[in-house]
Structure 1
Amino acid sequence: MSALADALRYLNDPLNWNRSGGILDLLVQHLTVSGAAVLAAAVLAVPLGVLLGRSGRGRGGIVVLSNVSRAVPTLALLTVFAVTPIGFSDTATVVALAVFAFPPMLTNTYVGFREVDRDVREAARAMGMSRGQMVTRVEFPLALPLVMTGIRTAAVQVVATATLAALVGGGGLGRIINLGFGQQDLGQILAGALVVATLALLTELVLVLVSWAVTPGPRRLPFRAAHPSRVGEPEPTSSGVPL
């Protein structure tokens, strides 16, 4: 209980937020590095997933790549980069986190495009659509929920894992936790953990809202369950006429 009180005291001190190298500065660093890693992974994973998903090839390779990539610890990659010309830098952190974010994006994009109904593809082809039109106007909208799920999963994992960068001299919110360990200050350690956890939850929430906004078709507010029909009241069809 004392550690929680110390953590709240740390978070309620405006100096800890506004000073140079304080929470706000570290938050900007954390978001910059995380955003760059997610963007880099998406630029590589999504087009590759589209290509492989449409062709139906590479399923075994994707499974192997996904499992191997998940098995490589991010901290190990950061340590390896430390003895290369990349060294201790934000570049090393971005590359390591991008490797970590790549598998869920690739897997979900691949599965999303593989699950597009073959009859839908044939109908689009019969309408005279080109390959590019089929991808952008038919297949991608249908696969978008799974694609966004992969991006959301990767982004939350990256935001949480970026704290490890502080162990090899990187920036971000992990510095609060690392400094707390160095000073044996449990309150500061807990404060840093609370900030990172809150940021991860906010990232999840924002990307759920983005996914809801960009997914085509009928929408209802996210996190809100559909209201069941009242007893005895006929359920309307999509045209508004009761069944």
Structure 2
Amino acid sequence: MTDILAAFGWIFDPANWVGAGGIPARTLEHILYSLLTLVLAAAIALPIGFAIGHTGKFRGVAVGVSGALRALPTLGLVVYLALITANISIVPPLIALTILAIPPILAGAYSGLESVDRAPIDAARSIGMTGWQVFAKVELPLALPLVIGGIRSGALQVIATWTVAAILPVGGLGRFLIDGIAVQNYPEMLGGSIIVIALALVSDGLFAIVQRLVVPRGVVAGRVRDTAEGGRGRTRTTAPEGATTS
């Protein structure tokens, strides 16, 4: 309990809120690093995931590659990339963490498209929609909650793991942990960890809101209508999906 109080004392110390090494500056650096990583990972993973989900091809390869990328030790990869490139800038951890963020985003993309019911897809094709129109107007809107869920998972991993990048002379909240270890400043280490946790929770909450907002209204209305119609039947041995009320 004393350590926690000391950590919060460090967080709310005005001296730690000013300058290039202060909490606001380090938090902003961490956010920018995380956003850049997510953008790069999404630019790679989403097109591949959408292609796999739309065509149904190479899913086994994607699952295998995703599993292999998840198994890579992030800290070891950061150090290895820094050594082979002779680069101690932001580049090695950016590459390593982009690799880390690809699997959940890729899984969310192809799983989202695979989860779409075939009925609306077949209906869209029957009225003459092209493959691209089916994807853009039917599959993607219905799959978007799971796609956002994949990005949400990737964001949490990236925010938490960017702290290890501070083993190199880069910014971010990991500086408080690495610098604190060097001088045995435990309130600084614990305080930095608390800020990382808070940032991850805020990010998760924002993505959860977005995930709810992107659910198509027709899908929600359809579930409510199905529930209402199902309640009129005489048999109650099985309940329709969504029939549970709080």
Write the mapping of 1:1-243 to structure 2, written as runs, cut at 5 A: 1-85=1-85, 87-217=87-217, 237=225, 243=232
Judged with a 3 Å threshold, the aligned counterparts in structure 2 of structure 1 residues 239 and 64 are, in CA distance, closer, same or farther, namely closer
Q: Report the residue type matching 1:90 in the other structure.
A: I
Secondary structure at the counterpart of residue 84 of structure 1: helix
CA distance in 2, matches of 1:185, 1:112: 45
TM-score under structure 1 normalisation?
0.87
Q: TM-score, normalised by structure 2?
A: 0.86
Could you list the per-position Cα deviations for residues 52-105 of structure 1 after superposition, in whole angstroms to 9, with x for gaps in the alignment? 111111121111111110110111111111123361111222211110000011
How many aligned positions are there?
228
Cα deviations across residues 96-127 of structure 1 (Å, max 9, x unaligned)? 11100000111121111122222221110111
CA contact (8 A) 2:20 2:26 kept: no
Unpaired runs of 5+ residues, structure 2, are 233-246
The 3-state SS of whatever aligns with 2:37 is: helix
Give 1:20 shift. 2.3
How far apart, in 1, do the equivalents of 2:8 and 2:60 lie?
49
Q: Which moved more, 1:109-118 or 1:173-182?
A: 109-118
Asked whether the 8 Å contact 1:33–1:93 carries over to 2, the reply is: no
SS of the equivalent of 2:171 reads coil
8 Å CA contact retained: 2:10, 2:191: yes
Q: Is the 8 A contact 1:7 1:187 kept in 2?
A: yes
Please tell me the residue identity of whatever aligns with 1:31.
I
- Distance 1:174-1:219 versus aligned 2 partners, 3 A rule: farther
Q: Call closer, same or farther: CA 1:141–1:86 in 2, change over 3 Å.
A: farther
Aligned to 2:85, the other structure's residue is in SS state: coil
Deviation of residue 237 (structure 1)?
4.2
Instruction: Among all aligned residue pairs of Structure 1 and Structure 2, give the percentage whose two residues are the same amino acid.
Output: 36
Sort the Cα spacing of 1:157 and 1:80 in 2 relative to 1 into closer, same or farther, 3 A.
same
Whether contact under 8 Å (1:212, 1:219) holds in the other structure is no
Q: Where in structure 1 are there 5+ consecutive unaligned residues? A: 221-235
Q: Write the deviation string for residues 120-172 of structure 1: whole angstroms up to 9, x where unpaired.
A: 21110111212221111100011111111100000011001000010122210
Shift in CA distance, 218/198, structure 1 to aligned 2, threshold 3 Å? farther
Runs of 4+ aligned residues of structure 1 deviating over 3 Å after TM superposition are 236-243
Within 2, Cα distance between the matches of 1:137 and 1:203? 28
> For residues 167 and 219 of structure 1, do their structure 2 counterparts lie closer, same or farther at Cα, with a shift above 3 Å needed?
farther
Q: Which residue in 1 is equivalent to 2:243?
A: none
